Chains A and B, each alone.
Chain A
Amino acid sequence: MTAPDLPSKPGGWLAERLGWASIASRLGGYSMSRRGFAFYLGGITLFLLVVQVASGILLTLYYQPDAAYAHGSVERIVGEVAYGDLVHAVHSWTADLFVASLFLHLFTVMIRRSFRSPHELSWLTGVALLALGVGQAFTGAVLPWSERAYTHARIGSELARYVPLVGGWLHRFMRGGEDVTSSTLAHAFGFHVAVLPAAVALVLSGHLFLLTRRPVQRPPQPNAESIPLYPDFFVRQGVALTGAMVIVLTLAIFVDRPLGPVADPRVSSAPDAQPPWYFLPVHAIVRAAPKELLGIEGPRFLVGAACVMGLAFVALPFLDRRGSRVTAWAAWVLLVTLLLLSLRALS
């Protein structure tokens, strides 16, 4: 039984020309664990990225990256262009879900310690993709040039100033100049639609290439049921992706995301200006931080500490000792801490 489940009649002609039978049999040769949400997260993240690229390309048709027109052009997309509200809402919601599934993907990898040899490079490219994803989220949130976007740009770029060594450079870089101006918007747009997507494409192809070279091992559970990659795992992944799409559409259709008033530097930063949820832990820390810690400016200390933690995070595969459970514990502690901080920021 080489191709057990080919839709013989309608697709047969095409399948024959593509040589699908041999591809299917090769794919069927790999086996995957049947259980475990973790194994579907990578695929979901990739799928959401595709949705982001598609909806983002559509948005560039009407978006105008100029401080004088940006907000109006988004209003036009939402209010005037046919189905523009849907495209905008899908892009906006998928951004959140994309970052969420990136984080979850990384956490499950951490907890399962799937980054161990020979998967160090998969881990490193994955962490790079997380950084690029956060960069996409930051630059994307600036583009509507609403009051919220403006505040977001101010705070975000100001925090970057405290990054050790490269802070000053990063600060100017994120603002596209000395202050948050129209240039910041132009800069953010260029990064959002060209620079960062190109980087994502590059790193992601590396990430996926490594996956084909060194397929993820099944977890060392003796009684786990294994299934062939094709068709069984593919169909299950299909269920997950359709579910993700249905969730995105439901959120986009039923939960409104108001654009908010246009950015006006004369208006004081809104008191309830909350960052996107994935920056909530940062928000909580920034709000609670004292003026000085150990003789260092509060923000500088915290951002510095976060950078040290980040470096440790990157170097995880090289720090991890075989047989030790510290990494898994650290992952849980980190997750719980971030959740608590987020709750703190919301209250």
Chain B
Amino acid sequence: MSSRDDKGGVARRNFLNLAVGGSAAAFAVAGTYPVVRYLEPPPGRARSASRVGKIEEFPVGSVRTVVVDDRPVHVIRTADEVRAFSAICTHLQCVVAYSAEHKQFECPCHGGVYALDGRNLEGPPPRPLEELTVTIDEGYVLVSASG
């Protein structure tokens, strides 16, 4: 009789241990999931075009570096148009600099070179610089955050 009691006791004990362990694990997972999701930053907000200055501030033949949505952008004014290129190198995201001497963009990190129309000329960059849309509105130059 006592042995049967023992058997029932052991079975109950095992079941209870399993129930405690199982529900504790499930509760822990339920708690971990929101934390993991929380750690992932929410998507950035959609942005409109940013005013970067008056058209007179961009003389013909000049290259000026402005900041659009916290990112560097080269604005180039030629005789007949204004163009904007993201200053982020397509190789490993360094900021490329304008070289007035060579009339080209040069990446100081790994030697990438781009033409003034964004084409990747030399070095490791796999793609041309990203071109951004430029609008001239009431004498102001607007650069949109994406091409």
Contacts and interface: CB of A to CB of B under 8 A. Distances in A.
Asked if chains A and B are in direct contact (CB within 8 A), the reply is: yes
A10 interface: yes
A82 interface: yes
Contacts of B42: 76, 80-82
A7 B13 CA distance: 9
B31 to A, nearest CB: 8
A5 B14 CA distance: 9
B45 to A, nearest CB: 9
Contacts of A76: 42
B37 interface: yes
Interface residues of B, number: 13
Contacts of B38: 58, 61, 81-84, 86-87
Interface string A71-112: 000001000111110110000000000000000000000000
Contacts of B27: 242
A161 B114 CA distance: 64
Nearest to A6: B17
Interface string B22-51: 000001000000110111111000000000
Interface in A212-226: none
Most buried by B among A80, A82, A87: A82
Chain B interface mostly: helix
B21 interface: yes
Contact-size category for A: 10 to 19
Nearest to B34: A83
A207 to B, nearest CB: 27
A102 to B, nearest CB: 24
B21 A7 contact: yes
B89 to A, nearest CB: 29
B37 A82 contact: yes
Contact of A7 (B17, B34, B40): B17
A49 B27 CA distance: 19
Given A81-B42, A82-B42, A10 B35 contact: no
Contacts of B39: 58, 61
B13 A87 contact: no
Given A5-B13, A58-B35, A87-B34, A81 B21 contact: no
A109 B40 CA distance: 43
A271 B38 CA distance: 36
Contacts of B41: 62, 81
B12 to A, nearest CB: 12
Nearest to B40: A82
A83 B39 CA distance: 9
Contacts of B40: 82
Contacts of A82: 34, 37-38, 40, 42
Contacts of B37: 82-83
A61 B17 CA distance: 37
Contacts of B21: 7, 10-11
A111 B37 CA distance: 45
A61 B41 CA distance: 9
A86 B17 contact: no
A5 B40 CA distance: 40
A78 to B, nearest CB: 12
A159 B21 CA distance: 50
A86 B31 CA distance: 11
Interface of A: 5, 7, 10-11, 58, 61-62, 76, 80-84, 86-87, 242
25 contacts: A5-B13, A5-B17, A7-B17, A7-B18, A7-B21, A10-B21, A11-B21, A58-B35, A58-B38, A58-B39, A61-B39, A62-B41, A80-B42, A81-B38, A81-B41, A82-B34, A82-B42, A83-B35, A83-B37, A83-B38, A84-B38, A86-B34, A86-B38, A87-B34, A87-B35
What 3 A-B pairs are tightest by C-beta distance, nearest first? A83-B34, A82-B37, A80-B42
